[in-house]
Structure 1
Amino acid sequence: MIQDARVLQPEFIPKEVAHRDAEVNHLSRTLDPLTLGESPETPLLLGPSGTGKTCIARFTVDRLREAVLELEYQYVNCWQDYTRFRLLYRLLDGIGQTLDIHRRSTPKDELLDRLHAYDGKPYVVILDEVDQLESTDVLYDLYRIRGVHPILIANRETDLFSRLDERVRSRLQSSVRIQFDKYGTDELVAILSDRVRWGLDDGVIDTEALRYIAEAAAGDARVSIGILRTAAREAQSQGLDHIPMAVVESAVPEGKSELKRKDIEKLTPHQHVVYEIIAEADEVSPGSLYDAYRERVDDPKTKRTIRNYCSKLEQYNLIRAEGQKRGRQYRLAARAPEP
């Protein structure tokens, strides 16, 4: 039944994309100066999780590389590479300059010096989840490196800009904003139909079942693909030659739970602590949350950083914030109602 499991992963980058022509064209126009050997404005891709930001960025850069032969490229997930050292290391790795770098002993400034000394092809770097960087000062470092051209991806502009110092904020004021909204049901059905066509046997699932998945996903492509993957695996394990509606219905909660587990696994150590405190309480105020957090870690972050962590957890539907200011309470996000 499953012919290509890679297609059923959310990070799969297709050779063609559905229902994001305007965003692809906008990003392509922004990057066009690279085809003339010039520097483009910095694109800033904004929108909720599961709206195709990462896919469109990588897809568009792949197309650009077909047009510009002399072009280096690196993708960095800043949720994983969130420290200054990790980010600089990943950028150097993209141009093959990490062989003699020791993660524990090489000074960060030496990594930056190497990037400054780079004098090769134009270097496009996608910084995904850029608001997760431990320190945004590294963005200022990148803006000072000739030949490095970042594409920034974040959920909300306000969360990103609230953490920037004036130097970086002024640089980003002129960036090209490209907004991604949640998908409609018909758009998700089209996306799922493509994944079925590329990754599964012909005719294994009907449009009614795909629409059921799309409605359950509520505009989030990651969720819809996760449900489809769960349903396909279950049908295959049962030895079925198609995916019946009963399997699809049972796959909805499991597909959502699997995605939530993955999101929890990628939290940074300090975010894990924050999530655990909220999970242990029915509800907790920001002040009580911060007090409990300080008791559990040796090197606590600031209150502002913890607020940013909570905002990120909320964006990924891991927690819910209710109330304003002193009346605010955090609690785990309730499971979304089934369609």
Structure 2
Amino acid sequence: MARESRAVIVDDRVLHEDFVPSEVVHRHEAVNHLSETLEPLLSDARPETAFLFGPTGVGKTCIARYTVDQLREQLPSVRTAYVNCWQEYTRFRVLYSVLEAVDRAFDVHRSTPKDELFRRLSDANDQPIVAILDEVDQLEETEVLYDLHRLPHVSLVLIANREEELFASFDDRVRSRLRAGTRVQFDRYGTDELVAILEERAVQGLEPGVVDERHLRTIADAAAGDARVGIGILRSAVRRAERRGLESVTDDVLEASIPDARTAIRRKTVEQLIEHQRVLYDLIAEAGEIEPGELYAAYEEAVEDPKTNRTLRNYLTKMVHYDLIEAVGERRGRTYRLVDDE
């Protein structure tokens, strides 16, 4: 029977990847670069579109939201909209999300014409708007970027994994409008950087002494430069220790928490897949390993309104980026299979 002990978690919010800290650890160069890009807003001018590129779990979303929060401290009149294009992947959904963020979405229904949404957003020009579009490479109707770029009071911060994959999804009109934007590139965190990030989370979210630097370094090593995984392992370990009635994380608690956290992250990501992505994922899981032609054929039989092969390739690429599946071999001999939890 576990003995009673004090709670070890002070602020559970800090143990989640979407928490935006009041101060960032590392990535100061990225913050400065994005801040400089958005600086024209302070002079009532429009900044260039900002692109944040890099693999999953390297702080792109956190830095975007943190930097825009800092901007709002200097310019309280600026309004902000955060849109996750993995979930809001159509023109209607993106326009609606931005309108909702600036309190202009009243009386909008599914039958409301998209041009009416654009007109409303065009009329909402009394104050500048900064729209952060996360997972923008998941947009299926990229013309909405052309819409937003046309509005002089809307500034864009676009987040994606790779530039070449993102621009390949654009038509010529969108590509020509956005080509000149500012790029901020993010690389994987080093072990020391990740330890510092986890240490700051521990200071803010946990009682003193719950986790020591040696354990944080073990977590950082296991996370391999991915802060999302590192924070997930820390959260899993602390909760496991708390359930056991322990006042600090032990070696055996941490050892058990590493695979558990990876499984939990993967499960959460799978749950976020949209319908057609989930069909592809399930087909790969059922087959064990499958080549693209066979996968596309099985997919077309499984759905009523199949997407184009180009969209399917985009789906598969995104699932590779999120370590749900892996592509084995070169183009002609390529196959897809699920990533093992271990």
TM-score by length of 1: 0.97
Matched residue, 1:94: 101
Match of 2:81 among 56, 69, 74: 74
Matched residue, 2:316: 310
Q: How does 1:30-109 map to 2 (within 5 A)?
A: 30-102=37-109, 104-109=110-115
User: CA offset at residue 145 of structure 1?
Assistant: 1.4
Q: How does 1:199-278 map to 2 (within 5 A)?
A: 199-278=205-284
CA distance in structure 1 between the aligned counterparts of 2:111 and 2:323, rounded to whole angstroms: 38
Matched residue, 2:4: none
User: CA offset at residue 335 of structure 1?
Assistant: 3.1
Residue type at the aligned position of 1:282 = G
Match of 1:321 among 318, 327, 336: 327
CA distance in structure 1 between the aligned counterparts of 2:275 and 2:13, rounded to whole angstroms: 29
Is 2:178 aligned against 1:179?
Answer: no
SS in 2 for 1:326: coil
CA distance in structure 1 between the aligned counterparts of 2:246 and 2:219, rounded to whole angstroms: 19
CA distance in structure 2 between the aligned counterparts of 1:136 and 1:324, rounded to whole angstroms: 29
Structure 2 unaligned spans of 5+: 1-7
Match of 1:125 among 131, 136, 158: 131
User: CA offset at residue 135 of structure 1?
Assistant: 1.1
Aligned partners of 2:104 and 2:124 also within 8 Å? no
Matched residue, 2:30: 23
Greater shift, 264-273 or 317-326, is seen at 317-326
Match of 1:157 among 155, 160, 163: 163
How many residue pairs get aligned? The number is: 335
Residue type at the aligned position of 1:92 = L
SS in 2 for 1:86: helix
Match of 1:166 among 162, 172, 177: 172
CA distance in structure 1 between the aligned counterparts of 2:331 and 2:217, rounded to whole angstroms: 40
Residue type at the aligned position of 2:62 = C
Residue type at the aligned position of 2:338 = L
CA distance in structure 2 between the aligned counterparts of 1:252 and 1:19, rounded to whole angstroms: 24
CA distance in structure 2 between the aligned counterparts of 1:264 and 1:212, rounded to whole angstroms: 26
- The alignment yields a C-alpha RMSD, in angstroms, of 0.9
CA distance in structure 2 between the aligned counterparts of 1:325 and 1:196, rounded to whole angstroms: 44
CA distance in structure 2 between the aligned counterparts of 1:287 and 1:116, rounded to whole angstroms: 44
CA distance in structure 1 between the aligned counterparts of 2:148 and 2:66, rounded to whole angstroms: 23
The 4+ residue runs of structure 1 with deviation greater than 4 A are: none
Matched residue, 2:5: none
Match of 1:10 among 12, 17, 21: 17
SS in 2 for 1:325: coil
User: CA offset at residue 19 of structure 1?
Assistant: 1.2
User: CA offset at residue 118 of structure 1?
Assistant: 1.8
TM-score by length of 2: 0.96
Q: Percent identity?
A: 56
Residue type at the aligned position of 1:117 = D
User: CA offset at residue 67 of structure 1?
Assistant: 0.6
